[in-house]
Amino acid sequence: MNLIKFNRPAPVKTFSGILDEFFNQSFPDPINTDFNWNTPSTNIKETEDGYTIEMAVPGIDKSKVDIRVEKDQLIVEAKQSSENVESDDDNNYKMRQFNFSAFRKSFYLNEKIDSDKINAQYKDGVLYIDLEKKEEAKPKEPRTVEIK
């Protein structure tokens, strides 16, 4: 005799039930993620000579980005604000719109990284940070050992 597994279908949710569920939970819960508005998306690539960190920071002026090394950490942070003032001809009504964005992200630098040879560039909304490996951490060509 073969057993057939039966999965009961999920109950149908009403629109008002979906709205209640959305507004009665904290923001990350409805989309099941630990998404943080203040943390840019980051990629880290390893090459033979080092690592490249790519951070998506569109709309942030590169002069507002601060990159520094403190002890064994690489710290990247930025703060930017803007304000638009609109008024009508009679100056009776003013509307001010402002925006503030900031982030701080740190990376642990292990003993393989030469902290004196860190370079960064900003292109098309992406911040590229190149971390060079120390000579002793780079892969070496195989060599033969002479037997004496």
Q: Rounded mean pLDDT of the chain?
A: 78
CA distance 81 to 100: 4
pLDDT digits (tens, 9 = 90+) for 22-53: 655 544 444 444 444 567 899 999 988 899 99
Residue 68 lies inside a defined structural domain of this protein: yes
Question: What's the CATH number where 59 sits?
Answer: 2.60.40.790
The count of domains in the chain is 1
Q: What is the pLDDT of residue 10?
A: 65
Q: Tell me the two tokens of residue 47.
A: 């090459």
Q: What is the pLDDT of residue 123?
A: 93
- What does the DSSP 8-state code read for residue 3? -
CA distance 1 to 147: 70
Nearest to 119 by CA among 56, 78, 69, 77: 69
Rounded average pLDDT over 118-147: 89
Q: Tell me the two tokens of residue 20.
A: 């209640």
pLDDT digits (tens, 9 = 90+) for 54-87: 999 888 888 999 999 998 899 999 988 776 666 5
Residue 72 lies inside a defined structural domain of this protein: yes
- φ, ψ (nearest 5 deg) of residue 28: -65, -25
pTM for the model:
0.63
Owning domain of residue 84: 36-137
Residue 1 lies inside a defined structural domain of this protein: no
Residue 132 lies inside a defined structural domain of this protein: yes
- Specify the higher pLDDT residue, 106 or 29: 106
Rounded average pLDDT over 5-23: 65
Residue 127 lies inside a defined structural domain of this protein: yes
